[in-house]
A and B are shown apart, each in its own frame.
Chain A
Amino acid sequence: MLTRRFSLSCLLLLLLQQGFAQSGTIKGNAYDLISHDGLSGAYISLDQTSFHQAADAKGNFELRNIPAGEYELIVTTVGYTEVRRHISLKAGEVQKVFIGLNPGGKSLEEVTVFGRADREKETGSRDREKSAANMMNVISSQAMVRSPDVNAANVLQRMSGVTIQRSNGGDEAYAIVRGMEPRYNNTLLNGEKIASPDNKSRYVQLGIIPSDILSSIEISKSLLPDMEGDATGGTINMVVKDAPDKTSFKATGSIGYSQLYFNEHYIYFPTSGIQSQSPIQRNPLGYVAQPGDFSRSNLDFKSEQAPPTALAGFSFTHRWFKDKLGFVLADNIQNQYYGNISSQAGTTPGNDTTGKLQRTDANNFQQYTQQLNNGLVVHLDYVINEKNKVNIDEFYLYSYLAQSRFNVDTTLIGTGRVGPGTGQIHLDAISQTQHTYVNNVRVSGQHYLLPALKLDWAGIESQAGNRQPDVADISTDFLINQNFTQTATFFDGIHRTWQNNNDKEYSGRLNLDYKIKAGSGNDLELKAGGLYRYSSRYNTQDEYSLVSPSTNSGGGAATKEVWTNINDIQWQVFNTAGTSYNPNDFKATETIYAGYLMARYTNAKWELAGGLRMEYTNDVWQTRVHSVTEPDSGYQAYTEFLPSAALKYKLSARENLHFSYFRSISRPNYYELVYGASPVSPNGEIADGNPYVMHAVAENFDIRYEIFPKGEEHLFIGAFYKRINNPIELRLVGNGHGALYVTPLNSNPANNLGAEISFTQYWGRFGVTGNYAYTHSAISSQQLNFKGDTVYPTRPMQGQAEHVGNLSLLYKDTKHGTFAQLAYEYQGLTLAQTGSYAGADFYQRPTNTLAFSCEKDIHKHFTVFAKANNLLNTPIKEYVQNTVLVLQNTYWATFNVGVRYAY
C-alpha cells in the first residue's frame, strides 16, 4: 500500500514536471531555530491559495506545480511562533527555503480539544514539563532513539536523580528515584498500573521493555490527588506510541555484539528436554516421580561462537474516515546475547575482638544469557465528534531468557584450607529458561458532557506471568589437599524447580473535570474521581532433589558418586512426591479503592493545585504450609488519606517556581506478606515473607525552579525533603540455624533530603545535557555489633547513592542529518545492602560509565546509526568495611549498528 502510493506519487511528479513547465516548486525544510531539529508535522501553506502540506518526519516539504508568482509562505506548528515569508517564484524554478521557527507561540493547553504536542520530540517533552502542575522530567522517543540505549532501564539511568538497581547476577532492573529503592516508586504504562510478571515485586522489569516502543518516559517527582499515591520517589510513566495525527511508517534494524564474546565462547544448553510441567503436575495424583522423569540434556552444556544480537522494529500510524479513526501498530523485537563474569564472597569476623571481617569463600561465576524481548503496541481511537473520543489500547510484552550459570566456590576458611591453592571447591552449574509476559488491554474514553465538564474513564485488564520450567542446578565438589593433590570430583546432587506465577489485574477509573473560566485568565478547575483495582497473584512451585542412588533394602548407601559427566551419572529422586506443601505455593489478592477531590486554580502568575486522596487497601494471602500452627493465611487492610498541594509561580513566560507537598504510601510486595515464601532467586539468596510488615507512609516536600530558554534547552534546580514512617527494608538477618536470609522489616523513621539540577544547553551544533542529584538519607534499624549487643546505627537507606550525575556531549547538524552523543554517568558510593553486623554493610564503589551513539542521514528516508554501551567495561564492586571485596560484576561493552527508515 505504501510502496504503491509512493511509486504513484513519483509517477505523478514526473508527469507534472513535464506538463507544467510554467509552474515552479517550493522545496525546503522547517526546523527549530534553537535545536536545529526538523519540525515533523509542521504545516506549510501559501496564503490565499489552497496549496498546503505537512512536513515529513525530518521537517522536509515540497510544494509542486505552483504557478509562477508572488506568495506568502506560512509555516505553523504547535509550540512555535508562526513564520511568514515572501516568495517570488519563477516558472520552472525549484526554490529552496529553510525556515527556522522560534519556540513559543501556542502552548499545549491552548491546543484544540484532542490535539497534542508531539510527545516523541524533545521539544514536546519540554512542553510537558513546563505545563505540568507537578514536577516532572520527561524524555522523548527522539532522545531515546538517538541515545546509546536499547531498553527502558538504560534510558532511565540517564534521567535526573535516577539510578538502576540490578539484582546481583540477575537481569531484573528497577529504578531507584532520588535514593528511594524501587518499592517506593511506581511504574505506569500510559498512566495506568500494569500487572507484574516478576515473582518478587509489583513492577515490570525495565530491562525487557524495548525503548523503541516508547514515545516518552515521564517521571513525576511530586504527586497530585489524581495520581496513585504509591510513589514516594517518583512515578515512572512509560508512554507508548500513541494516537497519530498523520500517517507515518518507521522501521529500524540493527545488529550487535557483546565484547565478552570477542574472546569467550557462548555457553548454552539444549532446551528440547525441558518439560513445561513437573512430574507430579503432568501425572495423575499419587504419582511417584522416577529418575527417568528428569532430562539430562538441559545440563549438557555446549559452547559455540556467540550469535550476533539482533534488534528490529517498526511502527505504523494512520487515520481513516476523515481522520476519525486512528490506528497505531508498533512492534519491536530484540534478541540479545550477553553475559557477565563475576565474583562474590562471604565474610566472617576473625577470631579476635577487632570485628574485622575476612572472606570465607571466593565464588567466581559466569553467566551466559540469551534474551529475546518483544513489545507489541496496538492502538485504536475513534473521535466520535469534537466532544467524544474512545480508545482501545493493547500492549503485549514477551520476554524469553535462557541462561547458563557456572559457580566455582572456593572455601577460604574451613575444611581443608591450609593456604593458598588448597581447600574445598564447590561447583554449581545452572540451566534456566524463563518466559515472561505482560498483556494489557485498556478501553478508555474522553467526553465533554458540557463545554466545561469533561469525563474520562478507563477499564483495564492486565495479565502478567512468569514461567520457569525445570530450572536445573547440579552441584559437584572436590578438595585440594595440603600437598596440592586433588581428590576426585563428587556428585553432590541436582535440584530441579518448576516455578509459575500469574498476576491478573482489573482496574476501573473515572475522572470528572469541571473548568470554570472566571475571566481575565483566572481559571478554576475542580476534579473528582475514583479508582477500583483487584489484583491477584498465584504462585506455584514444585521442587525435586536428585541424589546419588542408595538402595534402601538392607540400608545400602553409597557415598557420593564420583562425577563423570551428565550422561553417565546415576541418581534417585529423594522426594518422589514433589513438594506438595511448598509455602511458595500461594495466592495473594489485593483490592484497592481510591477516591479523590482536587481543585486547581490558575491565573497569569499563579497556579495552585491540591486536594485529598483516599486509598483503601485490602491484601489477603493464603498458602500451604506443613504445620497447623504456622500461619497459612493473613490479611492487611488499611485506609490512608493522602493530601497534596502544588503551587506553581510563573516568574516569566519561560520560568516557573514550584512548591509541593504530598503524602505517599508504599505497599509491601505480595510475597513479602506471605509467611515462609521465598521466591526463586538467581543468586540463591534466601528470602522470607513477614506477614506483619507494615506499609510505609511518607511526607514529601519539594521546591523547584525551572527555566526553559528555548527549544530543547532547560535548567531545573530543585530540592526535596522526605520523611518516611515505617520504611520497609529487606534486611539480612540470621535465623536459628546460623544461616542468613533476607526479610522485609520496618525500620525506624527515615529522613531523605536532596537537591537536583538538570540542564540542556546548545551552542550552535554543540550541546551539553546533564544532571546531578545529591541525596542524603538517614535511617536506623536494629543490628548486632561484634560483641553481640543490639545497636541502632544510622546509615543511608538501602540503594541510595549520595551523588549521581550524568553528562552528555551532543553534536547536532540538522542540515547534514548528523547526530552524536557521548554519555557519561557517575554513581557515587551506594549502600547496596545492610550486613548482618553493624559496620559491615555492603557498599557499592562509585562507578563511571561511558556510552556513545551516533547517527547520520544517508537518504531522505534512511538513517544509519551506531550505539556502544559500557565502553569502559565498568565493574560493579561491593565492599564491606571499605576493604573486603564481596561482590564484583563485570558486564563488558556492547555494540550495535543499524539503520532506521522513516516515512
Chain B
Amino acid sequence: MKIKLLQFLSTGTMLTGLLAAGTLIFSSCSKNNAGATAGPQLPAEAIRGTTLNGGNVKGVMLTDSTYTVNGDITVLKGDTLTVQAGATINVPGNHAFYVQGVFQSLGTSAKPVVFQSPTAQPGQWGGFQADSCQGFTAYWTKFLWAGGPDSTGGTRQTISISVPIPVDIEDCWFVGGQDNSIGVYSTASVKILRNSMYGNGTTDGDCIDFHSGVTGVVAYNVIWGSAGSAIKIYTSSTIQNPQTNCEVYNNTCVESGFRRGAAEPGRGVLVDAFSQARVYNNLLVNNYWSLDVTQTADIAHTVYNNNYFYVTVDSLRAFMYPAGEAGTAQTADIINLTTTGANNPLFVGYSTGAPDPSVRIIPANYDFHLQSSSPALGKGYTGAVTGLPSGVPALSGDIGAYVSDTSGGKGNRHAAGY
C-alpha cells in the first residue's frame, strides 16, 4: 500500500512538475499576430490629364479646365486635392470622392468651380464622402446632382464629414442632391456661410444636418425645397455628450419639409435632442413646420428671437411654432398666429400659392432677395450673441440671407438660381 502511494505520489509529482514547467515555458512563448489592411495601397497619382479613371489622386485641378471622373476618387490621408477657380468636373457615373486627406475647392465669385453630373438630374453621382478627412474647404463651388446610392442601396449625402476638423463651406450652391447636402457628425467646428441650396433630398434628407457635437455658425444661407428640415441642430437621441451647439442666423428658408409626408414633417429650423443654438433673424416662409425647438432640446441654453414667419396656407400657420413643442413665439418675432398671409416679406420673385413639394427645380421666377419695401428690413437683432466665434460675419440689422449692408462678410452674394 505504501509502495503504491509512493508510486502514485511520484507519478503525480512528475506530471504536475511537467505541467507546471510546460505552462511556464509555453505561456511565455505564446505569440500573437494580427492585422487588417486595405490591400496593396497604390501611391496617389498627381493629376496630369483631364480624364480621371478613379484611384488615389492628389494635386491640382487647374483653373478653367474641364475634367471627367470615371471612377471613385480617393484623396489619401496626408494628400491634398486642390481645385482652382473656374474648373468644371463632370462625373457621369455613380462615383464619389472619398476624402481622407485635405480637400479644397477655391472658386471665386467670377469663376466658380462646378462639380456636376452631365445628365443634370438628381442623384447621379456619389458626392464627397469625407467622413475621415483632414480638412474640408469649399468656396464658390457648385455641387450639383449628387446623392447616388451607397453600398447598401441608401442615398448618399452630398458632403459627409465625421471627424473633428474645421469645416468651411462658403458661397457654394447645392442643387438636386438626394440626401443631406451637408451632414456633419462629430465635434467639428463649422462655418456654413452664404450658400444657396435648392431642391435637395428625395423623400428624406435635410439641407444642413448636424449631430454629435458640432459647433459653429450657419448664416446667410438660402434654402428652398429641402425634403426634410432646412437646418437641423441635433446631438443624439441617446447620447447627450458631446453637445451640438450652433449659431443660426440670417438664413432664408422657404418651402422646406414637405417631401417626407405629413407624418414626418420637416422644419425650417429644428433644434432637437440635447443640442443648443442661438437662432436669430431667420426668414421662414411656407415651411411645413417653421421653427421647432423640441422638448428634448437644451432649452435652458437655447435662445431664439427676431425670426420672421410668413405662411400662405392655413394649414401651415399652426406649425409656425408647432403645438406641444418647447418653442413659442418671442417678443421680437415677426409673426401672426391668427392670420394666414400676414407679414409678406416681399421677395423679389415669389408666388403666394400653396407650396408644391413635387417640384424639385426651383421655379424661374423665384428670387428671395427682398424688395426695398420689405418689412423684414431693419428688423434684425444685432445685439450680443453668446458663443459667437470671431472671424465670422456679424448678425445683420435685416432679417434673412439677402441684406442691405454686406460689409464684413454679411449677406448672401448669389443671384437667384444657380
Which A residues, 534 to 550, have Cβ-Cβ distances below 8 Å to chain B? 543-545, 547-548, 550
Question: Are A737's CB and B15's CB within 8 A?
Answer: no
Whether a CB of chain A sits under 8 angstroms from the CB of B155 is yes
Contact with A738, one of B76, B211, B359 (Cβ below 8 angstroms): B211
**B residues in contact with A479, CB < 8 Å:** 262-265
Question: Are B264's CB and A641's CB within 8 A?
Answer: no
**A residues in contact with B234, CB < 8 Å:** 738
Whether a CB of chain A sits under 8 angstroms from the CB of B281 is no
Question: Are A601's CB and B263's CB within 8 A?
Answer: no
Whether a CB of chain B sits under 8 angstroms from the CB of A13 is no
Decide if the interface of chain B is mainly helix, strand, loop or mixed.
Answer: loop
**B residues in contact with A520, CB < 8 Å:** 4
**Identity of the chain B residue whose Cβ is nearest the Cβ of A553 in the assembled complex:** B121
Question: Are B262's CB and A487's CB within 8 A?
Answer: yes
A616 → chain B, closest Cβ, in Å?
10
**A residues in contact with B4, CB < 8 Å:** 520, 522, 603-604
Question: Are A415's CB and B264's CB within 8 A?
Answer: yes
Whether a CB of chain A sits under 8 angstroms from the CB of B384 is no
Question: Are B38's CB and A559's CB within 8 A?
Answer: no
**Identity of the chain A residue whose Cβ is nearest the Cβ of B236 in the assembled complex:** A738
**A residues in contact with B272, CB < 8 Å:** 414
**A residues in contact with B391, CB < 8 Å:** none
CA distance A524 to B357 in the complex (A): 86
Question: Are A608's CB and B12's CB within 8 A?
Answer: yes
Whether a CB of chain B sits under 8 angstroms from the CB of A554 is yes
For A, the interface residue count at a CB cutoff of 8 angstroms equals 101
Whether a CB of chain A sits under 8 angstroms from the CB of B240 is yes
**Identity of the chain A residue whose Cβ is nearest the Cβ of B175 in the assembled complex:** A555
Whether a CB of chain A sits under 8 angstroms from the CB of B221 is no
Contact segment of B20-28, B165-173, B370-378: B20-28
CA distance A583 to B36 in the complex (A): 14
Contact with A694, one of B34, B163, B242 (Cβ below 8 angstroms): B34
Contact with B238, one of A641, A663, A836 (Cβ below 8 angstroms): A836
Residue of A477, A560, A735, A784 with most partner-chain B CB within 10 A: A560
Whether a CB of chain B sits under 8 angstroms from the CB of A575 is yes
Whether a CB of chain B sits under 8 angstroms from the CB of A645 is yes
Proximity bits, A512-527, B CB within 8 Å = 1, else 0: 0000001010101000
For B, the interface residue count at a CB cutoff of 8 angstroms equals 95
Whether a CB of chain B sits under 8 angstroms from the CB of A387 is no
Which A residues, 465 to 489, have Cβ-Cβ distances below 8 Å to chain B? 477-479, 482, 487-489
Whether a CB of chain A sits under 8 angstroms from the CB of B351 is no
Question: Are B151's CB and A634's CB within 8 A?
Answer: no
Contact with A629, one of B19, B76, B186 (Cβ below 8 angstroms): B76
Contact segment of B248-256, B291-299, B340-348: B291-299
Which B residues, 179 to 212, have Cβ-Cβ distances below 8 Å to chain A? 185-186, 199, 202-203, 211-212
**Identity of the chain B residue whose Cβ is nearest the Cβ of A786 in the assembled complex:** B240
A46 → chain B, closest Cβ, in Å?
42
CA distance A413 to B33 in the complex (A): 47
Question: Are A544's CB and B153's CB within 8 A?
Answer: yes
Question: Are A737's CB and B212's CB within 8 A?
Answer: yes
Known: A413-B296, A575-B153, A612-B22. A736 touches B185 (CB 8 A): yes
CA distance A195 to B121 in the complex (A): 49
Question: Are B32's CB and A638's CB within 8 A?
Answer: yes
Whether a CB of chain A sits under 8 angstroms from the CB of B63 is no
CA distance A495 to B154 in the complex (A): 10
B129 → chain A, closest Cβ, in Å?
7
Residue of B37, B240, B273, B296 with most partner-chain A CB within 10 A: B240
Question: Are A608's CB and B15's CB within 8 A?
Answer: yes
Whether a CB of chain A sits under 8 angstroms from the CB of B31 is yes
Question: Are A351's CB and B298's CB within 8 A?
Answer: yes
Question: Are B131's CB and A736's CB within 8 A?
Answer: yes
**Identity of the chain B residue whose Cβ is nearest the Cβ of A619 in the assembled complex:** B34
Whether a CB of chain A sits under 8 angstroms from the CB of B386 is no
A501 → chain B, closest Cβ, in Å?
17
Whether a CB of chain B sits under 8 angstroms from the CB of A556 is yes
**A residues in contact with B241, CB < 8 Å:** 784, 787-788
Whether a CB of chain A sits under 8 angstroms from the CB of B258 is yes
**A residues in contact with B137, CB < 8 Å:** none
Question: Are B154's CB and A418's CB within 8 A?
Answer: no
Known: A554-B361, A638-B32. A413 touches B41 (CB 8 A): no
Proximity bits, B360-404, A CB within 8 Å = 1, else 0: 110000000000000000000000000000000000000000000
Contact with B121, one of A493, A552, A694 (Cβ below 8 angstroms): A552
A814 → chain B, closest Cβ, in Å?
43
B141 → chain A, closest Cβ, in Å?
20
Question: Are B259's CB and A560's CB within 8 A?
Answer: yes
**B residues in contact with A719, CB < 8 Å:** none
**A residues in contact with B33, CB < 8 Å:** 635-638
Question: Are B264's CB and A424's CB within 8 A?
Answer: yes
**B residues in contact with A601, CB < 8 Å:** 8, 11-12, 15
CA distance A570 to B203 in the complex (A): 14
CA distance A210 to B137 in the complex (A): 62
Question: Are A577's CB and B94's CB within 8 A?
Answer: yes
CA distance A128 to B258 in the complex (A): 70
Which B residues, 36 to 52, have Cβ-Cβ distances below 8 Å to chain A? 36-39, 41-42
Whether a CB of chain A sits under 8 angstroms from the CB of B235 is yes
Question: Are B38's CB and A489's CB within 8 A?
Answer: no
Whether a CB of chain A sits under 8 angstroms from the CB of B358 is yes
Question: Are A643's CB and B22's CB within 8 A?
Answer: yes
Question: Are B23's CB and A478's CB within 8 A?
Answer: no
Whether a CB of chain A sits under 8 angstroms from the CB of B309 is no
Question: Are A351's CB and B296's CB within 8 A?
Answer: yes
Question: Are A583's CB and B151's CB within 8 A?
Answer: yes
Question: Are B7's CB and A522's CB within 8 A?
Answer: yes
B160 → chain A, closest Cβ, in Å?
9
A783 → chain B, closest Cβ, in Å?
11
**Identity of the chain B residue whose Cβ is nearest the Cβ of A483 in the assembled complex:** B323
CA distance A837 to B239 in the complex (A): 8
Contact with B323, one of A348, A418, A487 (Cβ below 8 angstroms): A418
**B residues in contact with A450, CB < 8 Å:** none
CA distance A543 to B150 in the complex (A): 11
Whether a CB of chain A sits under 8 angstroms from the CB of B16 is yes
**Identity of the chain B residue whose Cβ is nearest the Cβ of A584 in the assembled complex:** B152
In the complex, besides A557-B358, A626-B129, A645-B16, 7 extra interface pairs with C-beta distance below 8 angstroms are A346-B238, A348-B238, A351-B297, A548-B203, A603-B4, A628-B76, A738-B239
Ranked 10 nearest A-B pairs via Cβ: A418-B324, A788-B241, A641-B26, A634-B36, A575-B149, A691-B36, A738-B236, A490-B261, A736-B162, A555-B360
A-B contact pairs, 9 of them (CB 8 A): A349-B240, A488-B262, A518-B7, A543-B153, A559-B358, A601-B12, A641-B29, A643-B26, A647-B12
